[in-house]
Amino acid sequence: MSVNKGKTMSWEKITEQQNLLSINIDANSTLEILSIINNEDAGVPTAIQEAIPHIEVFIDALVPKMQSGGRLFYVGTGTSGRLGVLDAAECPPTFSTNPDMVQGIIAGGYDALVRSIEGAEDIPADGATEILNYEIKTEDVVLGISASSTTPYVLGALEKAKAIGAMTGLLLCNDPPKLEYVDYVIPVIVGPEVITGSTRMKAGTATKMVLNMITTTLMIKLNKTYGNLMVDLKASNDKLWDRGTRIIEHLTDLNYDEALNILKSADGEVKTAVVMEKLKVGVEVARDRLRNHKGSLKDVFIKK
């Protein structure tokens, strides 16, 4: 039996509204269901495009904090929390960052990464406690992730972080609330979900994309790339040794085997190996040059 299109659920929150385009989805064929989901997902980049000015302002405030030794914390519950932890976990192998630099905090802790702990999101004091547990300071940045914009755990964490003096932000998929303890709001309005209230879908996709944009842009600003090459890569497995070797091969006159050898002599540090070869210096001198130019390969080569 199909749903009566004349009666839809009325909710104030956009993420809880009923999607009229999928209201009879259970009466559709597999192909039709897939097409409905895909067509809805296609609107996510447009929603993000509209939010780019908000993302830009947040990142421009974030970069100086990171340059001064601050840390970025994502705080979320459920899907939002898992995506924050995922993005944070991908930064060290991709950009050779200290694992402390970008961290994810999820309500319910490690167990919530692998199974749902729904009640963990309901207590603001638990979010505030995590801010204290992670010893968040004034130079740090806390970005709450809440598709609904009202998750008590996330708001409790943000309020405590602001009271400490940290910079705060909120990534959401609803009309932004006015919260005096949130410095930067990033609203990504993807509209009602294909399955009503299932924010693991469009809202989750949008969250993953925005977090990618935030950390990738941050790392570019912190000189973790050379052009679009991942030069601050630290080789730690076969794939990364191969990728690092090919980057060195591309940026120098070395062949693959020569590039691999110099990467090994640089302890798997691609940027260090490139400086060693380009300037014909040893590993410690190469590292000193990079430190003196804040890790910028371009500045090392231009200013020497």
Nearest CA among 205, 273, 202, 265 for reference residue 233: 273
- Judge whether 121 counts as a catalytic residue: yes
Please tell me which residue in 40, 56, 118, 121 is annotated as part of the active site.
Answer: 121
Please tell me which residue in 50, 56, 90, 180 is annotated as part of the active site.
Answer: 90
How would you class 16 by CB atoms within 10 Å of its CB: exposed for 0-12, middle for 13-18, buried for 19 or more? middle
- Judge whether 90 counts as a catalytic residue: yes
d(CA 91, CA 153): 25
Q: Is the dihedral of CA 193, 197, 201, 203 positive or negative?
A: positive
**3-state secondary structure string across the chain:** CCCCCCCCCCCCCHHHCCCHHHCCHHHCCHHHHHHHHHHHHCCHHHHHHHHHHHHHHHHHHHHHHHHCCCCEEEEECHHHHHHHHHHHHHHHHHHCCCCCCEEEEECCCCHHHHCCCHHHHCCHHHHHHHHHHCCCCCCCEEEEECCCCCCHHHHHHHHHHHHHCCEEEEEECCCCCCCCCCCEEEECCCCCCCCCCCCCCHHHHHHHHHHHHHHHHHHHHCCCCECCECCCCECCCHHHHHHHHHHHHHHCCCCHHHHHHHHHHCCCEHHHHHHHHHHCCCHHHHHHHHHHCCCCHHHHHHHC
Q: Which residues form the catalytic set?
A: 90, 121
